[in-house]
Amino acid sequence: NAGVTQTPKFQVLKTGQSMTLQCAQDMNHEYMSWYRQDPGMGLRLIHYSVGAGITDQGEVPNGYNVSRSTTEDFPLRLLSAAPSQTSVYFCASSSPLSSSGDTQYFGPGTRLTVL
Amino acid sequence: AQSVSQHNHHVILSEAASLELGCNYSYGGTVNLFWYVQYPGQHLQLLLKYFSGDPLVKGIKGFEAEFIKSKFSFNLRKPSVQWSDTAEYFCAVSLTGGFKTIFGAGTRLFVKA
């Protein structure tokens, strides 16, 4: 199993540009989440999904869109990038109904810089 | 609102020193508790977790944590740290059966060789 994969690893955008961060998992996990990690603030939940076709907002959803058309994929879209979105983005998946419970499995992260 | 508070943002220890990182949470219901670790240049991985049963849980690499329900705490401990324990440590909480996990701000641990 590859686990949770994310692309790209690094990205530089100009203010106003849009882009999509990709996330995929091959563990058949129902739940997937996007977090951003900023110094001194830990991980903050952006959006999450409890299954294909179902998404909901987390703590900091403004400026981001998500969709979940398949169990495996959960892309995060930045509609119009702003410098405040400079961060490291982590995708995670979990399977609360399995033996691992709410344990989150994280991808390697995408480091995004918005100029 | 649910929250997780980690008491120390930065900790510096010498090798063989004992470690205790504090974590308190505010959640009204039954919780699952986690400690995750992020080594330099790597992504987060699970260190240990508490779901139910014995409130003293043991994780990888000699770490343990104790859940004290009356204090809403889940402190991480290690009797003797090593240089390789240098990392950032995150406490996290989720409601049992829930799908939102809330993370603390993290504690950066630096162990001097």
B31, B44, B47, B90, best to mutate vs chain A, most A CBs in 10 Å: B44
Asked if residue B106 has pLDDT above 90, the reply is: yes
pLDDT given for residue B20 in this prediction? 97
Residue B26: count of CB within 10 angstroms of its CB? 12
- Is A108 in CB contact (< 8 Å) with chain B? yes
For the stretch B42-76, pLDDT in tens is: 889 999 999 889 999 999 999 999 999 999 999 99
Is B47 or A100 the better-scoring residue by pLDDT?
Answer: B47
- Which of B45, B99, B105 has the CB atom closest to A96's CB atom? B99
Residue B110: count of CB within 10 angstroms of its CB? 12
Answer for the pair B101, B3: CB distance below 8 angstroms, yes or no. Answer: no
| Total count of residues recorded for chain B | 113
For the stretch A12-64, pLDDT in tens is: 999 999 999 999 999 999 999 999 999 888 899 999 999 999 999 988 999 99
Please state the φ and ψ torsions of residue B64, each to the nearest 5 degrees.
-145, 160
> Which chain A positions have a beta carbon within 8 Å of B87's beta carbon?
none
Half-sphere exposure of A15 (CA within 13 A, CB side): 4
CA distance B84 to B33: 24
Cβ separation B94–A102 shorter than 8 A: yes
Distance of residue B64 Cα from the nearest chain A Cα, in angstroms: 17
- Name the residue with tokens 């169990």: A71
